[in-house]
Amino acid sequence: MAKKLSLEGIKLSDIKEKKTDVSKLLSTLQKEKAEFTKEAIKDIEQQIATREQIHKEVLEELEKIKIELNNLMLSTSDMEEQEKQRIRQKQTDIEQLKVKEIIDKWKDIALLKKELRERMQEFKEKESKTEMMAKLLEEQ
């Protein structure tokens, strides 16, 4: 036998109160999601800055090594041609490493900026939803 549903004993004020509680909870969740996304954006921005700094440091170190090799060649006049050629090859290798670092940095930054744009779009959408939820709560 099917049980009959009854609305007896349920007050309209109870329903409105529950609806308000649920709306507030949803609004709070939206705000928290927006905050989480905002923190992710800050983290990505920090990663970009860190990658820029690492890039600068790597290029500086490679340049120092290249200069040291050059100074070694200049300071040793009686160096064999074979040894000079080996040092020149190392300098060429260092230049290749510098080019590789420049390309790698560009790729890394491009990926981070893509992720940043996605997170910013996500944040805007969540903020918009939060504002709509706040307006709905005000209307009640």
Per-residue pLDDT of the chain (140 residues; tens, 9 = 90+): 555 555 565 665 666 666 677 777 777 888 888 889 999 999 999 999 999 999 999 999 999 999 999 999 888 878 888 998 999 999 999 999 999 999 999 999 999 999 999 999 998 888 887 788 777 767 76
pLDDT of residue 79: 82
Q: Tell me the pTM.
A: 0.72
pLDDT of residue 15: 60
- Residue type for 122, please? E
pLDDT of residue 109: 97
pLDDT of residue 66: 95
Write the CA distances from 61 to 35, 91, 94, integer angstroms. 39, 13, 10
pLDDT of residue 91: 96
Class of domain 35-139: mainly alpha
Q: From the centroid of its chain, how far is CA 61?
A: 26
Write the CB contacts of 90 (distance below 8 Å, at least 6 apart in sequence). 69
Write the CA distances from 11 to 6, 24, 94, integer angstroms. 12, 20, 79
pLDDT of residue 110: 98
